[in-house]
């Protein structure tokens, strides 16, 4: 649980924690049903978890070496790509929920 202290020091973690808090409240009004609400909030939790892992990878890579090395840059880029995928997933879940709520899809 000490890892949660990273929220205070890392901007990306703070932003995604605020997004989760807003999503918990906003999801109550947007979600077409309970299952949708759980998927919407769950997608934001997955996003936060992936961001924690990415932050951990970046901190570890910085601890191993401060040199600008191609291998370390690739590792950090892989973590950033994972965060991007999680953002896309959460966005798709929320867009689908909004489309269902508005009657655009069933």
Domains of the chain: 2-101 (1.10.287.3610)
> What CA–CA distance (Å, rounded) separates 98 from 95?
5
Note the pLDDT of residue 87. 98
Q: Is the pTM higher than 0.85?
A: yes
Q: What is the mean pLDDT of the chain?
A: 93
At residue 9, does pLDDT exceed 80?
no
If you average pLDDT over residues 54-81, what whole number do you get?
91
Q: Nearest to residue 35, comparing CAs of 86, 100, 79?
A: 100
Q: Residues of the chain with pLDDT > 90: what percent? A: 78
Would you call 14 helix, strand, or coil by DSSP?
A: helix
């Amino acid at each position: 649980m000490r890892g949660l202290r990273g929220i205070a020091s890392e901007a990306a973690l703070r932003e995604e924690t605020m997004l989760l808090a807003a999503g918990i409240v906003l999801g109550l009004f947007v979600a077409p049903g309970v299952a949708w609400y759980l998927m919407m909030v769950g997608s934001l939790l997955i996003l936060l978890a992936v961001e924690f892992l990415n932050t951990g990878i970046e901190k570890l890579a910085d601890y191993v070496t401060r040199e600008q090395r191609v291998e370390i840059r690739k590792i950090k880029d892989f973590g950033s790509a994972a965060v991007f995928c999680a953002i896309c997933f959460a966005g798709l879940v929320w867009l689908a929920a909004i489309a269902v709520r508005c009657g655009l899809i069933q």
